[in-house]
Amino acid sequence: MMKVIQRAFLISICMLTTLTAYAQQSYSLEGVVTNKKGQPLENAQLTLQEPDLHTVTDQTGAFAFSSLRSGSYTLTISHVGYQSLHRSVDIDYSSRDSLTFQLAIKRYESPSVVVTATRSSRDIEEVPEPVTVISDKQIKASGNTRLSEILAEQTGLTLTSDHGTGIQVQGFSSDYTKIMIDGQPLIGRTAGTLNLDRISVGNVQQVEMIKGPSSALWGSDALAGVINIITEKGQRPFELGINSRYATNKTLDLGLNLSTRKNNWQQNFYFNRNSSGGYRLRPNSISQTVPSYHNYTTSYQTSFPLFQAVEIEFQGRYYREEQSSRDYLGDAENPTLLDSDALQEDYSLAPTINFELGTHTTAKLSHYFSRYRTDSRYQYRQGDSLYEHTQFDQYYNKSELQLNHNWSVNHISSLGSGYKHEQLKAQRYAGDPAFNSYFIFAQHEWIPTGRWDIIGGLRYDGHSEYAAQLSPKFSARYKLFEWLHLRGSAGSGFKAPDFRQLFLNFTNPTVGYSVFGSSTVRDRVQELQERGQINEILIPLDQLNEIKAEHSWAYNVGIDLYPTDNLELRINLFHNDVSDLIESAPIATKNNGQSIYSYFNLEDVYTRGIETQLRWEPNRQIELSAGYQLLDARRKIEGTRTVQNGQGEVVEKTYSSFKPMFNRSKHTANLKLYYFWEALDVDANIRGTWHGPYGRTDANGNTYVDSNEYEDGYMIWDTNLAKTFRDRYTLRMGIDNILDFTRPSDLSYLPGRIFYARISLQLY
């Protein structure tokens, strides 16, 4: 018994000795953080993982972590106004020296990681798709506040005005580009346009853009391309920034960014108020070209680990705009004045759970809810009675599961599936129409060697109201040399028929014609027939085909050249074949002499062209970028014509040819020059865009552009100058549209010359 006790005692002693010895083996990490000039940086944030340890530098830029065990750590150093630095540090016997870390000042460098191309984070130089990325630095340097203004400066993009500011991509009108925030679609289109003025860019980390159909990953609407806005996620434990901008036309923008990060719990809050007094391009007109408005954007994002390997993420966004304008009835000489108040509201909620299922598999389960609603009233100025009150209310729900699996370094698969439910409450639509759709997609990426990257994908979209869609995509990248990469892709895209094309139930009260959506037209016409109101049926009801989604096939071939470290040239050739574009056409005539219209797959279109993008940074002070797009967009014109034969007798001749489309410039180009004077913390830039001649007025009504129907091209130049104080306070002053170019007849979004000043304060 005594022996047992003795042995136990001895073991305990031994253990104690070992523990003491272990405790003595703790290390520290010391160092200094400076800028590139060697000047110490105070208040630089340092995080050491794992576990999370934080510290900040003192006045001399010095920091120290103590009581560290030996091993490998990740060190992150961040400071306001500087690029964050990530280092892995091995702490062992040899690491006793004080380390010096130099941070580089934030410049207009292009970001490197994109998610839109593959639905997972990838290096932009790896993905085979032609992706364009606009960084937050570029956005801030431009001095702009809305997404429309940012996109207007990009190669190959043209703004359009039709019930809001939309974007034309590769010659497609704005209906065909999908707009997303953090991978979730924005809803609320009016006449096909999603108004890009709705989107504030004050909390944007980067805007990613894929031109060409991407329905294999993103489903409907991604026919011309996808624009995905990635919001900012704070890097430091606590960040607070405010900014304000005041510009011509009493335009005021106020923004607040707040973010916290602690033990992997991250929160980001953003608030923005934007208002304008509006403007008139025709000085004596009764209505303003763009009426006065004010709007609010609020968004909140948070993510935290629930357990090990389970992370919860939540995003919410709220937007509200009120706009008041003056309108009139009758002729302008003797008008009946109307006052209009329009409200627009949209909000969305998106909870997500991310799972790590072992070392090779991740899963993402998400739900997305969004509602968009408008409410507008027209009131007679005299008598104050109501002239018109219209409401529109749209609901969107989407549940989705995505799995990513790394089979090996060379094989990565993604598989996803989801369900969507959409509903509408509005006048002109009988009985709250709703539709359901479901989808499944798969993508596989194969990296056979360091030179090749090959991706194949397929998506199936089933729908309650129209024919199902199968969207394949294949793309590949080949590194011929380190400085020359080849890219190619082929894929298809589609755009689902919208609520209007499916469910519209509208009869013009004064003229008496009717328009019915394709899902309702059969019943409505039968109803009218039973009531004896139909004169003639032009297309027998039993011969009506189920409406199909608008569909495209696209081919992209590109070369990326990196001849030197500071020079980059990308050339991309594209060709899009679009079929089954939906147009309205008469289906029957009524006894009142008017027609009944419905929607049919009628039109064929093709667009093709070349896009080039050059970026050159000759030194640390200067960055130059230039872009050019050649575009040929044509629509198929076909029909029969009554003509005469050689004897002068009447014969019917069919014709079919592709003719140029309106509102598309064959040539567009842009040039941006940024100058950065590090010693004085001053930066300046000048940015220009040019649109070549475009067809505008169909003077002879043949629905395509003739050589005498071109409008002159135009140029817009913007410039600004900024001074940054103490790396965190920036004053920027600039002029947009220096040449004061306006064209009231069709470029209503161009307000003429704008002066502005912007103050950004990074408080923490």
Which stretches of the chain bind other proteins, using CB under 8 A? Answer: 162, 282, 331-333, 593, 595, 641-644, 648-650, 653, 662, 696-703, 708-709, 745-746
Q: Which has the closest alpha carbon to 317: 244, 231, 408, 221?
A: 231
Kindly report the number of other CB atoms within 10 A of residue 624's CB atom. Answer: 15
E-state strands within 533-621 = 534-537, 550-564, 567-590, 595-616
Q: Enter the tokens of residue 629.
A: 């797009």
The smaller minimum CB distance to other proteins, of residues 641 and 726, is found at 641
The smaller minimum CB distance to other proteins, of residues 51 and 639, is found at 639
Smallest gap from Cβ 700 to other proteins, in A, equals 4
* Residue 743, C-beta contacts closer than 8 angstroms, at least 6 positions apart: 711, 714, 750
Distances (CA, A) of 295 to 143, 317, 323, 597, 759: 19, 13, 8, 37, 20
Smallest gap from Cβ 128 to other proteins, in A, equals 38
> In this structure, is the dihedral angle defined by the CA atoms of residues 500, 501, 502 and 505, taken in order, positive or negative?
positive
The smaller minimum CB distance to other proteins, of residues 341 and 706, is found at 706
Q: Would strands 45-49 and 729-736 be described as parallel, antiparallel, or unpaired?
A: unpaired
The smaller minimum CB distance to other proteins, of residues 245 and 590, is found at 590
Report the C-alpha gap between 195 and 370 in whole angstroms. 16
Scan for tokens 């509005």, then name that residue: 426
Smallest gap from Cβ 701 to other proteins, in A, equals 2
Smallest gap from Cβ 500 to other proteins, in A, equals 14
653, 643 contact by CB (below 8 A): yes
The smaller minimum CB distance to other proteins, of residues 92 and 706, is found at 706
The smaller minimum CB distance to other proteins, of residues 384 and 649, is found at 649
424, 387 contact by CB (below 8 A): no
Smallest gap from Cβ 377 to other proteins, in A, equals 21
Kindly report the number of other CB atoms within 10 A of residue 696's CB atom. Answer: 16
215, 458 contact by CB (below 8 A): no
Smallest gap from Cβ 497 to other proteins, in A, equals 19
Report the C-alpha gap between 355 and 498 in whole angstroms. 35
The smaller minimum CB distance to other proteins, of residues 42 and 698, is found at 698
> In this structure, is the dihedral angle defined by the CA atoms of residues 411, 412, 414 and 415, taken in order, positive or negative?
positive
Smallest gap from Cβ 754 to other proteins, in A, equals 23
The smaller minimum CB distance to other proteins, of residues 10 and 643, is found at 643
Smallest gap from Cβ 703 to other proteins, in A, equals 8
> Is the bond into 709 cis (omega within 30 degrees of 0)?
no
Smallest gap from Cβ 427 to other proteins, in A, equals 18
The smaller minimum CB distance to other proteins, of residues 449 and 708, is found at 708
